């Protein structure tokens, strides 16, 4: 089954304790992305990756790191979590579309989400 998986689904931790949220997709997608979802703020992009070893900042990258050593995996790392990083996190992936000034959009597939609480 084609899917994006995230682990853990729920995590409660304390300020300053490093954590990693894993994301894996089995669709051979080039593009992967991390979002956080907060009440009243909607979805905001944290980081994205166009392909292996290619990552870039989204709209709210502060306090987060990512890596893309393999095509299927895109972990989100919080080196020193703080309470303002309490949120619902989603990983997403999609195919990289072809070239051209206006490329056809490729659907983003989302993982089930990780609810993180930082005390």
Partner 1 sequence: GNSVTQMEGPVTLSEEAFLTINCTYTATGYPSLFWYVQYPGEGLQLLLKATKADDKGSNKGFEATYRKETTSFHLEKGSVQVSDSAVYFCALSEAGNNRKLIWGLGTSLAVNP
Closest contact distance (angstroms) between CB of 102 and partner 1 is: 6
The residues in 66-95 that bind partner 1, with binding defined as CB under 8 A, are 90, 92, 94
30's CB contacts (< 8 A; 6+ apart) are 50, 51, 71, 95, 96
97 binding partner 1? (CB under 8 A)? yes
Q: How far is the CB of 16 from partner 1 (least distance, A)?
A: 29
Q: How far apart are CA 67 and CA 86, in angstroms?
A: 21
Q: Which of 91, 14, 113 is nearest to 47 (CA)?
A: 91
Can you tell me the distance from the alpha carbon of 43 to that of 104, in angstroms, rounded to the nearest whole number?
22
31 binds partner 1 (CB under 8 A): yes
Interacting residues toward partner 1 by CB under 8 A: 4, 31, 33, 40-45, 48, 50, 58, 90, 92, 94, 96-97, 101-108, 110-113
């Amino acid at each position: 089954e084609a899917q994006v998986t995230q682990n853990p689904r729920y995590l409660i931790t304390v300020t300053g304790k490093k954590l990693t949220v894993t994301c894996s997709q089995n669709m051979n997608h080039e593009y992967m992305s991390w979002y956080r979802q907060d009440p009243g703020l909607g979805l905001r992009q944290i980081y994205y990756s166009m392909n292996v070893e290619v990552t870039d900042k989204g709209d709210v990258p502060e306090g987060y790191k990512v890596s893309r050593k393999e095509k299927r995996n895109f972990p989100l790392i919080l080196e020193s979590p703080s309470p303002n990083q309490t949120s619902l996190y989603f990983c997403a992936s999609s195919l990289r579309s072809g070239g051209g000034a206006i490329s056809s959009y490729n659907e983003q597939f989302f993982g089930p989400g990780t609810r993180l609480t930082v005390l």
